[in-house]
Structure 1
Amino acid sequence: MALDFLTLYIVILLNSLTVSVIWAAVSYVYRYFITARIWLAGCLLSVIGGAVLSLQGNEGALVPAIAGNGFVVFGFCLFWVGVRHFYGAGGGWKASALITIASMLCMIAAFESWNWRNVAYATAQSVPMLLAAAFLLRRPERKLGDWIAASAMLIGVAGHAVETAMNFALMGGHTDRSFYNVVESYALLCVIFSGVVWNFGFVIMAMDRLRSEIAELALRDELTGLPNRRLFLERLSAETMRSARTGRPFALFVIDLDRFKEINDQNGHAAGDAALRHLADALKNRLRPNDFIVRYGGDEFCVILPETTLQEAKSLAEAMVETARSTPLPWQGRSIGLTISIGATVWSKKQLADVGRMLEQADQALYEVKRRGRDGHAFFAAGRKNAGVAA
């Protein structure tokens, strides 16, 4: 049984309208999520295209046929553009315009032949679907949403391939009109519902991204952009277990920004915030690629230095103290000098310290630096009441 083509165009309109509502809601709630707006635009163009196509009737009037197909093709191109934007690739706008214009010109040129017009339309829709599917499948890390969207697009391309084959078969006299209408209508229906499925894949992609961003926010300090205390404790635990397993040492620094309260009292809390950001950037740039610095809270930072001996840690601590001294904070036309105190400890096989003990040792060393007058570093020395080792 063949499906009425007017009915199919109405189905296109209603399906696209349904998905548009979803992307409109996502765009409204997550206004910074620009990709959702691009996909919303693609859906709305499909809605407009479906509405215009419904005006052509089963005979296919020229203007609504060409204009409606143009809207739909450009809408499909925006799905490809959105995929690129979602993964930071950008571009695709000019290519989308060229694909749409070329498809409309081909449909105008072949308008007297319903079959050639269908071939042009099917090919024009297939191109952005293939481009989007290829982009998703070439990604090194493909998640569930990528697979769903890419698979649905390839199913849509397959539907268009069947449609194209049936048009050639009809033109070549290898099938009759009644069989053609049956297969053609169901192939088009396959394409319509594949669009629903690939938008479902896009929704899963968006959910994965939003969940990752929320998880990232939970592990990042908002002021400095550094990892926060929660992530630090997870990393310190992992590093302690790794050293216990391999016997390789690592160092832990606990760092205080000296006289932070004075900076706030004398210059305002905005200056204090700026000082923390400035110091975070300076220390991060001074560390090695594998070192891990976090804002532990307030004016306190912590650094985990993997594969680091006592002598290497001492050199790094001295370098960090000097970095703070030599990079004052520019503030309202003047400079605010910054210094830091570092309490440090190095894991060793003799002590086999756990996370709590490592933090306690570093705190004891930090207290020793402050007792001496700040602006320096000290290392925990097991068996000594005062843990400091001369800076």
Structure 2
Amino acid sequence: MLSIPTVWLLFVVNFSALGLVWAYVLRGHPNFLPARYWGAATGCAALGAAVALLRGVVDSPMPLVLGSTLMVLANCLGMMGLFRFFRLPSGWLVTAVVTGVSAVAIAIFTYVAENMAMRIVVYSIAHAIPIALTLRYLLSRSDRRTQPGIWLTALVSALILAVLAIRSVAALLGIGGELQTLHFNVVQACLVVLLSFLSMLWGISFLLLSFDRHRNEMASLALVDELTGVANRRQALQRLNELCTEAQLSGMPFTVLAIDLDGFKGVNDRYGHGAGDDCLRAFARAAQERLRPDYLLARVGGDEFSILMPRSTTRDGALIARSVVEACQVQRGQPFDAISASIGVAQWTCDIGSDPERLIDAADQALYVAKKNGKNRYAIYEPTPSTLAAAATTTLLQSPEITGPGDGDLCLPDASSFRTAPSVR
């Protein structure tokens, strides 16, 4: 048989080691609130096990009652940490009720009607409630299969619940032999050792959840422009490669817009870089409001942006380009009045295939024409039949005049010609 003090000593060592890990995490990330709950949970578990150890030297069951209560509280704190991790209410009420009721019930079956089997059942139920609530939430998440931390936490939670149920049934039915205050029978000993291992794994799964989030945040930061909050060049190129591959497989075209802010250098020179940053942020907000959720706006250079439009044609691109050019006119007052946008529009074709650079070049050529012909407008790249055959000349369409509502409808000129227009005012 396995002595109960040995079990508690096992818990002290395990949870003290895990507590040191959380202390290290908190030292590096003091504002990471879930780590405080999880650190408190491991500390509470180690303290509870240490208090329960005193049962071997104190002729009173009080250390067992207090130690068991602290272990239940530790489980509840683990649940609260997970809820805070996912920005849910912490669950203080559940913690207070479960801890309080379990303490009273354990005391009753210790002092009033001494029954070790019922103590095991109460202890198991008290442990199972926060773990069951944790499992229910994790299983409700749509990303549970793609996030290793969520998957592991849910799996370990289910295993702990199964072991707790088996332990309760075994205690009530007397499976494995007699239960003694300071010694477990063989069945209970095996189940307790397994619970010790799973409890440690449950705590480690919280660490994995934290690592998953940290990794995802780092990946997100690597793909987002810090100043404007839109996608950066890396994300734009990744998405462009994906769209080229998808288009080559499905034959469904998509459109790219290359955007350059006119007058931006003058704003920086006259008003300072702070004003230039304000202009970039204002433009990004205004442009983003005019895009569908599946369109990607990216800042690819100092004052250069691009828009990737899945499942679209040059006509769709022209409509968005016009809307974005007009968006610049919404901003009033200095230095915003000095900013306008020139845009080049290019559509993926079978000739481009999976090479995104060719599409980028096409959009840049159209952008060059828009700027050359007065800025504050858009131009559309159209490959001529000879381009499709031998990469020869191209046709670039210039946006017609955009002076007010109803103006600027797309006109298709003859091959190798331009339609120009005065700027928007």
Q: TM-score, normalised by structure 2?
A: 0.82
User: 1:216-255 counterparts in 2 under 5 A?
Assistant: 216-255=220-259
| Residue in 1 that maps onto 2:377 | 376
- The question of 1:118 aligning with 2:120 is answered yes
| Residue in 1 that maps onto 2:421 | none
Q: 1:390 aligns with which of 389, 394, 399?
A: 399
Residue identity opposite 2:336 in structure 1: I
Point out the structure with the larger helix share.
1
SS of match in other structure, 2:123:
helix
Partner Cα distance (1:99, 1:301) in 2: 55
| Residue in 1 that maps onto 2:418 | none
Residue identity opposite 1:10 in structure 2: L
Partner Cα distance (2:284, 2:53) in 1: 61
User: 1:186-201 counterparts in 2 under 5 A?
Assistant: 186-201=190-205
SS of match in other structure, 1:387:
strand
For each residue in 1:273-315, what CA deviation from the matched residue of structure 2 results, as whole angstroms up to 9, or x when unmatched?
2221121111111112221111111111000112222222222
Gaps of 5+ in 2: 385-392, 401-425
SS of match in other structure, 1:146:
helix
SS of match in other structure, 2:293:
coil
CA shift for structure 1 position 380: 2.1
User: Percent of aligned pairs with the same residue?
Assistant: 31
Q: 1:131 aligns with which of 130, 133, 148?
A: 133
| Residue in 2 that maps onto 1:6 | 5
For each residue in 1:40-84, what CA deviation from the matched residue of structure 2 results, as whole angstroms up to 9, or x when unmatched?
111111112112222233777354333322221111012222222
For each residue in 1:113-159, what CA deviation from the matched residue of structure 2 results, as whole angstroms up to 9, or x when unmatched?
14233322222112212222333334333343334333333333333
| Residue in 2 that maps onto 1:43 | 42
Partner Cα distance (2:263, 2:89) in 1: 46
Contact 1:157 1:191 in 2 (8 A): no
Partner Cα distance (1:182, 1:200) in 2: 27
For each residue in 1:175-225, what CA deviation from the matched residue of structure 2 results, as whole angstroms up to 9, or x when unmatched?
434795333333222211211122222223322222222222221111122
1:208/1:244 Cα in 2 relative to 1: closer, same or farther (>3 Å)? Answer: same
User: 1:258-337 counterparts in 2 under 5 A?
Assistant: 258-328=262-332, 336-337=336-337
1:31/1:341 Cα in 2 relative to 1: closer, same or farther (>3 Å)? Answer: farther
Q: When the two structures are aligned, how many residues end up with a matched partner? A: 384
SS of match in other structure, 1:297:
coil
Higher mean Cα deviation, 92-101 or 353-362? 353-362
| Residue in 2 that maps onto 1:339 | 340
CA shift for structure 1 position 32: 4.2
Partner Cα distance (2:16, 2:101) in 1: 26
Higher mean Cα deviation, 160-169 or 183-192? 160-169
Partner Cα distance (1:306, 1:151) in 2: 38
Partner Cα distance (1:385, 1:119) in 2: 80
Contact 2:260 2:303 in 1 (8 A): yes
1:349/1:144 Cα in 2 relative to 1: closer, same or farther (>3 Å)? Answer: closer
Contact 1:166 1:180 in 2 (8 A): no
Partner Cα distance (2:128, 2:351) in 1: 67
SS of match in other structure, 1:325:
coil
Aligned Cα RMSD in Å? Answer: 2.7
CA shift for structure 1 position 382: 3.6
1:303/1:108 Cα in 2 relative to 1: closer, same or farther (>3 Å)? Answer: same
Partner Cα distance (1:386, 1:151) in 2: 60
Residue identity opposite 1:336 in structure 2: F
Contact 1:79 1:132 in 2 (8 A): no
- The question of 1:210 aligning with 2:209 is answered no
| Residue in 1 that maps onto 2:148 | 144
| Residue in 2 that maps onto 1:52 | 51
| Residue in 2 that maps onto 1:365 | 366
CA shift for structure 1 position 100: 0.7
Contact 1:252 1:358 in 2 (8 A): yes
1:240/1:328 Cα in 2 relative to 1: closer, same or farther (>3 Å)? Answer: farther
CA shift for structure 1 position 368: 1.9
Residue identity opposite 1:326 in structure 2: V
1:60/1:262 Cα in 2 relative to 1: closer, same or farther (>3 Å)? Answer: farther
Higher mean Cα deviation, 22-31 or 45-54? 22-31
Contact 1:155 1:191 in 2 (8 A): no
1:335/1:131 Cα in 2 relative to 1: closer, same or farther (>3 Å)? Answer: same
SS of match in other structure, 1:326:
coil
